Amino acid sequence: MADPEPKLRVIDETTEEPAEMVRLGARGVSVETVERLPGRKEKVAPARLEGEARENFDGRSVEPGVEAILDQPGVAESVEQPWGVSDSRLVGLPYGWFVLILMALVAAGVWSLRAMRYGEIKVEIDHGAIREQVAKDVDATQEATQLVERVEEVVAAYLRAETIETILPWVRHPERVRPMIEEAWKIEPKQRLKYERMTLFQPANMERKAFWVVRAEVEEGEMQSLLIEQTGESEVKVDWETHVCRQPMPWNEYFANRPDSGALDFRVWAVPDQFFNHEFSDARRWKCFRLTAKGSEEHLFGYALAGSEECQEMETLCQSAAGQKASLLLRLRIPEGSVSPRGVVIERVVAPRWVIVDDPGEDAP
């Protein structure tokens, strides 16, 4: 007899008694008896999320009705106001602000008008200052042009002069330097030089007087370096003493012969030194300076009494000079009976440079 067809039936989960269970497998249908696991006997309703009421929920997905909008304070007043009629006062904006804004606009207008007027006046003043400055520049340019032209004329005349009479009108302190020129030309007559052009024109003010350093090219000759004094707007004179580096006698001859006839003024370079011997061996009494001259390799040692005015001036001038090498005009004397082969006494600082700015004869009564 065939097995009855298995049927599905509801299993009561509230009991723990064994029950038959129909299992569907690959080989067919089989009925098994299974033990129930202990379980809860009472049914529990599934949990449910509780939420606030709809009227209290802000994140609504449906737009509110018109009544909700009309219920907002301040809206009904504007809705009830007739069309085309404006209220005599705007809500939330005091009258004081209108007054303040009006005052600010008036002040801004007044300031703009005054600024425009001031700008016009300032432009007129600026234009006047510019015109004045341009006029000054034009005048200064004309004066500078005239000065340069005059310098070239004087330099050309000075260089081509061959006699005392033709050179004296172009030199500084002509009365004082005339005997010096005559003496120098007896030893070596002056050569006529033809001026070609000026390669340097540089200011060199000294003791409130205007000087110019000029470098001039000549035809078939060496470059000539000149010191020019400006005595007027377009009047200049050449310093002959610095041009030839005038010395009372050649430096090499002074070194070799060591004349003790008196003090002589030499243009030298002075540098502080520490050489003490013979009658100048006392370093507490003397200050030593190494002296050299233009066109010579020989040197002498000049000694000034420590603490004297000459010594203090020498030290100051050397300290302020580049490399402590000062260009000075010194009055030197060889002591009578001196045994020092190179020692000389510095009697006076005639000038703190090689040029004599003021003519000594001008101060004489």
Mean pLDDT, the chain, as a whole number? 77
Sign, Cα dihedral of 294, 297, 298, 302: positive
pLDDT on residue 4: 52
DSSP 51-63: ---GGG-SS-SSP
Residue 141 has pLDDT above 70, yes or no: yes
Whether 274 contacts 288, CB under 8 Å: yes
Task: End-to-end CA distance of the chain: give it in Å, rounded.
Answer: 176
74 vs 343, residue with greater confidence: 343
Q: Residues 243-261, buried b or exposed e (16+ Cβ, 10 A)?
A: eeebbeeebeebbeeeeee
pLDDT on residue 96: 57
Specify the range with the lowest mean pLDDT, choosing from 75-79, 171-175, 193-197, 291-295.
Answer: 75-79
Cβ neighbours for 356, distance < 8 A, ≥ 6 positions apart: 173, 241, 329, 350
Residue 172, helix vs strand vs coil: coil
Q: What single DSSP character describes residue 282?
A: -
Q: Tell me the C-alpha distance between 20 and 1, whole Å.
A: 21
What's the mean pLDDT in 294-311? 95
Residue 15 has pLDDT above 90, yes or no: no
Residue 160 pLDDT level (bands cut at 50, 70, 90): very high
Residue 123 pLDDT level (bands cut at 50, 70, 90): low
Residue 168 has pLDDT above 50, yes or no: yes
pLDDT on residue 127: 60
What's the mean pLDDT in 99-121? 66
Nearest partner of 179 among 242, 266, 241, judged by Cα: 241
Name the helix (H) or strand (E) containing 228. Answer: strand 224-230
Q: Tell me the C-alpha distance between 283 and 280, whole Å.
A: 8
Specify the range with the lowest mean pLDDT, choosing from 19-28, 48-57, 121-130, 146-155.
Answer: 48-57
Residue 134 pLDDT level (bands cut at 50, 70, 90): low
Q: Tell me the C-alpha distance between 33 and 63, whole Å.
A: 61
Q: What are phi and psi of 266, to 5 degrees?
A: -120, 145
What's the mean pLDDT in 69-91? 41
Residue 285 pLDDT level (bands cut at 50, 70, 90): very high
β-pair partners for 346: 332
DSSP 319-358: HHSGGG-EEEEEEEEPPTT---SSEEEEEEEEESSSS--S
Q: Tell me the C-alpha distance between 47 and 41, whole Å.
A: 18
Q: Are strands 211-218 and 195-203 parallel, antiparallel or unpaired?
A: antiparallel
Give the pLDDT confidence of 235-273 residue by residue, as tens digits: 899 999 999 999 999 999 999 999 887 899 999 999 999
What's the mean pLDDT in 146-172? 94
Residue 74 has pLDDT above 80, yes or no: no
Residue 71 has pLDDT above 60, yes or no: no
Encoded amino acid at 254, one letter? Y
Whether 312 contacts 352, CB under 8 Å: no
User: Helical H runs in the chain?
Assistant: 66-70, 75-80, 95-160, 164-167, 174-187, 240-244, 251-257, 309-320
Whether 204 contacts 212, CB under 8 Å: yes
Q: Tell me the C-alpha distance between 120 and 227, whole Å.
A: 51
Q: What single DSSP character describes residue 209?
A: B
Give the pLDDT confidence of 216-229 residue by residue, as tens digits: 999 988 999 999 99
pLDDT on residue 327: 95
The token pair at 166 is 């033709």
Residue 89 has pLDDT above 80, yes or no: no
Q: Tell me the C-alpha distance between 236 and 165, whole Å.
A: 18
pLDDT on residue 125: 64
Q: Tell me the C-alpha distance between 77 and 46, whole Å.
A: 52
What's the mean pLDDT in 272-295? 95
Residue 360 pLDDT level (bands cut at 50, 70, 90): confident
pTM of the model: 0.62
Give the pLDDT confidence of 309-354 residue by residue, as tens digits: 999 999 999 999 999 999 999 999 999 888 999 999 999 999 999 9
Whether 239 contacts 227, CB under 8 Å: yes
pLDDT on residue 118: 63
